[in-house]
Amino acid sequence: MHKIALITGASSGIGKATAEILAKNGYNVIISARRLERLIEIQKQLEEKYKVEVLPLKLDVRDRDAVEDYLSNLPDGWKEIDVLVNNAGLSKGLEKLQDGKIDNWEVMIDTNIKGLLYITRAILPSMIKRNSGTIVNISSIAGHETYPGGNVYCATKSAVLHLSKALRMDLVGTNIRVVSIDPGMVETEFSIVRFDGDKERAAKVYEGITPLTAEDVAEAVWFAISRPPHVTVEDMVLMPTQQASVLLTVKNYKKF
Ligand code: NDP
Ligand code: 8X3
């Protein structure tokens, strides 16, 4: 019997690559995000390539009622989720806090913190009942450090680190594992979203440096999931070799 994984934010980047590595390893996957047309395309590709079942789920993680409704009414055969990857997340803007756009703060906090909580709360009771499961939260190096203009985004990713730690404590005595994967710079649609669709500005972020790929991160996620049940990878920081902190990269190290 195939195991089941739910990946949020699977329409792009790290989430899409994670859905692929799980499908490749025999998981039936629920791929969720807001852009359903992309999910349907990914469904076709994964089903054909890996002969597993893929369920596309149009879901905005900020919509508490929809999260509760969808996840408590999953179709037969999809109800018992073995692996949850809380990946949906984003950064909006790079303004200093004093110039910050409050609407952007709301979107980041609602998606990166509250969305992750809604999803986790909806999935956990079934994992606890079965006394098994793995939850992988995608945090960031930005959860460990901060940088000018990173303020609210970094705070949300720091919250993800603390929620992972707290959840491990709340689940002691169960067999449920909670993992945090914290990447440095990964070339995805992240910067395009951060800069409101400005592809030129986004491309500059990755010029002159070899960033991580979404697949690099997906492999780290799979490493954690595929450890034997008695092993929890609590927190893995994964950096490009050319980046030694959020601020220090091969592009600017000579200034220091
Ligand atoms: P992408 O922009 O490529 O992917 C983000 C995904 O999140 C998309 O599938 C998007 O789907 C989904 N998403 C965004 N908002 C919502 C929402 N409200 N409800 C449901 N899904 C949503 O970026 P990445 O792959 O880089 O980002 C994935 C995660 O990795 C994020 O949590 C990010 O913070 C983290 N991260 C990224 C790093 C990087 O440098 N790229 C580094 C460290 C961490 P859709 O728009 O279709 O809803
Ligand atoms: C994304 C990494 O450094 O752009 O989480 O904030 S960074």
pLDDT digits (tens, 9 = 90+) for 196-228: 999 999 999 999 999 999 999 999 999 999 999
Report pLDDT digits (tens) over 150-183. Answer: 999 999 999 999 999 999 999 999 999 999 999 9
The tens digit of pLDDT for each residue in 111-129 reads 999 999 999 999 999 999 9
Which residue has the least CA distance to atom 5 on ligand 2? 140
| pLDDT, tens digit, 9 for 90 and up, residues 3-15 | 999 999 999 999 9
Mean pLDDT of the chain: 98
Q: Which burial class, exposed, middle or buried, applies to 60 when counting CB atoms under 10 A from its CB (0-12, 13-18, 19+)?
A: middle
Q: Write the pLDDT tens digit of every residue in 55-92.
A: 999 999 999 999 999 999 999 999 999 999 999 999 99
For residue 14, give the ligand 1 atom closest to its CA: 25
- Of 108, 191, 246, the one to substitute when testing ligand 2's pocket (max ligand atoms within 8 A of C-beta) is 246
In the predicted structure, residue 46 carries a pLDDT above the cut 90: yes
Q: What mean pLDDT comes out for the span 226-241?
A: 98
Q: What is the per-residue DSSP string for 100-158? A: --HHHHHHHIIIIIIIHHHHHHHHHHHHHHHT-EEEEEE--GGGT---TTTHHHHHHHH
C-alpha span between 124 and 136 (Å, rounded): 13
The whole-number pLDDT of residue 1 equals 84
- What integer pLDDT is reported at residue 182 of this predicted model? 99
Q: What is residue 43's predicted lDDT score, i.e. its pLDDT? A: 98
Q: Domain 4-255: which topology?
A: Rossmann fold (3.40.50)
Say if residue 256's pLDDT is above 90.
no
Which one of 6, 61, 90 would you pick to mutate in the ligand 1 pocket, going by the greatest count of ligand atoms within 8 A of its CB? 90
Question: Distance between CA 116 and CA 138 in Å, rounded?
Answer: 10
Mean pLDDT for the stretch of residues 104-112: 99
